[in-house]
Amino acid sequence: MCPISDYPFESLFQHVSGYSLHYIDVGDSNGRPVLFLHGVPTWSFTFRKIIPLVAEAGYRVIAPDLPGFGLSRNKLPPEAFSLSWLTQLIAGFMDECRISKPVLVAHDWGGVIGLMLASSQTNLFSGLILCNSLLPLPGMKAPFLFKLWRSFARFSPVLPVGMIVNVACERSLTRKERRGYTYPFRMGQNKRAIRKMPRLIPFREGQQGYADVVKAWDGLSNYQKAVLTLFSDRDPITRGGERIIQERIPGARNQAHKVLKGGHFIQEDAPEEIANSILAFMRAQA
């Protein structure tokens, strides 16, 4: 059990390709699965207010910590820092944990990984719910604030995770909440993935992973599984990304998309609204 008072979940670990991933698995073990994937610089703690509401509705809820994040092992092999390694590891995690055709709820980087997987394995998920998350279109310009964040994460000698999340929320996090975000990243060596992950998003031809993104969008142009967007109105990095998803992915048509009030970390600003939308989506897909 993690010693964070508002993260009352049993810690589980799964070895995948020699790497240890931390995750939580709550709710009805026989219920339809819902897989949560967090972004950067957070961990599964970020969904702590949403997970119980979904689990109490009778679903099986699984939330891993990405490699180098949260309570997952932070000593990463050199090949870890690539889109292909990350997507393969999450696919392997789902296979090892017998998570069959879950609905994916993804924020930020979680959606990048989820969309890459969905494009190549059409039947891996039964549906996608994307929260302030977008796989960049080939040739898209990187938003200015994303470039600023990428440089800050790489070069800043101080990387206060709790404060970073707080700045990107509309509401002010409590001291306890900020400590919860910071808990796994107290030591500098535990922040290596945070510093490197923003540089894995390819925007230009020739960058590592660019060809994979081009291929992914080719696959997503024919993706028919239901895709729901839950974006916020005040996220300067992903704002407007929901329109790209809705226009380019067939499964996003005629869904109950919402734009919620909040910042980048919409799961902190509108957790109940997100939970209600997840449950409505699950009922609609039943």
Q: How far apart are alpha carbons 17 and 70 in whole angstroms?
A: 19
DSSP string, 118-154: HHH-TTS-SEEEEES--PPPTTPPPPHHHHHHHHHHH
Element (H, E) at 162: helix 161-167
Catalytic-labelled residue, pool 22, 38, 257, 264: 264
**Phi, psi for 69 (deg, rounded to 5):** -120, 155
For residue 271, cis peptide bond before it (omega within 30 degrees of 0): no
Element (H, E) at 259: strand 258-260
**Phi, psi for 227 (deg, rounded to 5):** -130, 120
Catalytic-labelled residue, pool 108, 212, 257, 269: 108
Q: How far apart are alpha carbons 177 and 182 in whole angstroms?
A: 9
Query: Are β-strands 19-27 and 60-64 bridged in parallel, bridged antiparallel, or unpaired?
Result: antiparallel
Q: How far apart are alpha carbons 10 and 22 in whole angstroms?
A: 10
84 φψ region: left (φ > 0), alpha (ψ -120 to 50), beta (else): alpha
108 a catalytic residue: yes
264 a catalytic residue: yes
28 a catalytic residue: no
Catalytic-labelled residue, pool 65, 235, 257, 269: 235
**Residues carrying an active site annotation:** 108, 235, 264
